[in-house]
Structure 1
């Protein structure tokens, strides 16, 4: 019998986003770039602010399956810089995904939005962020993305 995989909630990243830029249909989907303009990180061991640069680079496949890859950074309250590379997928009923794309509210429970964030930092206190795998459940809102990060134990 294989060992059980357990996770533990560690923090929430709220990334504020700007208007979408699209490069159009690139042959296997529509390329979109969504700037990250700030936000916050809140948790028991990690708190800080999302820095106002970076973006989420998406491809919306013809079946509305969305591949996401966000690259940005946050600064902890005690001054450490943490680089984030967060890859994942968002999928759900086509009509709901189209509503989200138009900036209309959709119940996050109706959309499958999961990611695998990877962190990099030279700060000793936060080195543990590079020593574990993390998974996240996310929700897209009109002006922000809320990402609940869980550590895989």
Structure 2
């Protein structure tokens, strides 16, 4: 944008210019994990692979299963913080396949804050290819739960 395009924005009241985006619930996911595979310390941290072995997800616009196809290739940094780096596949109840990548760091409360990127060829779910999404991951013994949210423009 050049300055003349920005000028109308500069004259808005401060509150209007700072209206935050909202979040819309995409789905809640429960996923089972296989035994961890420690790769060991490397140039970027200590890598540990967590196989994704299945699960389910349910939301207002899409639901289905987590396929036994993928893993979290996470890293533990020098401060002991785990950061997720996943690639896995979802299958919706109507048979569409969705590839998903997530990444994000662990938080002091033990949860992870995730960035989610979707890829699908399905016409019905094509909208997923063009959204910004975030999630909160909670882990347990052999499973994780993720609540996923779509970022929406302010109204």
Which category of TM-score, normalised to the shorter sequence, fits these structures? 0.7 to 0.9
Alignment of 1:92-103 (within 5 A): 92=108
1:83-122 CA distances to partner (integer Å, 9 max, x unpaired)?
0011111132xxxxxxxxxxxxxxxxx2241001111111
The question of 1:20 aligning with 2:19 is answered no
* Structure 2 counterpart of 1:144: 143
**Separation (CA, whole Å) in 2 of partners of 1:138 and 1:113:** 5
1:76 to 50, 73, 92: 92
**Separation (CA, whole Å) in 1 of partners of 2:64 and 2:141:** 22
Contact 1:64–1:91 (Cα < 8 Å) also in 2: no
The question of 1:89 aligning with 2:105 is answered yes
Normalization by structure 2: what TM-score?
Answer: 0.83
Cα-Cα RMSD: 1.2
**Separation (CA, whole Å) in 2 of partners of 1:8 and 1:111:** 23
The question of 1:43 aligning with 2:86 is answered no
Against the structure 1 CA distance between its residues 30 and 4, is the aligned structure 2 distance closer, same or farther, given a 3 Å change threshold? Answer: same
* Structure 2 counterpart of 1:64: 80
**Separation (CA, whole Å) in 2 of partners of 1:135 and 1:148:** 8
Stretches of 4+ aligned residues off by more than 3 angstroms:
none
Normalization by structure 1: what TM-score?
Answer: 0.84
**Separation (CA, whole Å) in 1 of partners of 2:94 and 2:62:** 10
* Structure 2 counterpart of 1:32: 48
**Separation (CA, whole Å) in 2 of partners of 1:13 and 1:117:** 13
Q: Structure 2: state its 5+ residue gaps.
A: 1-16
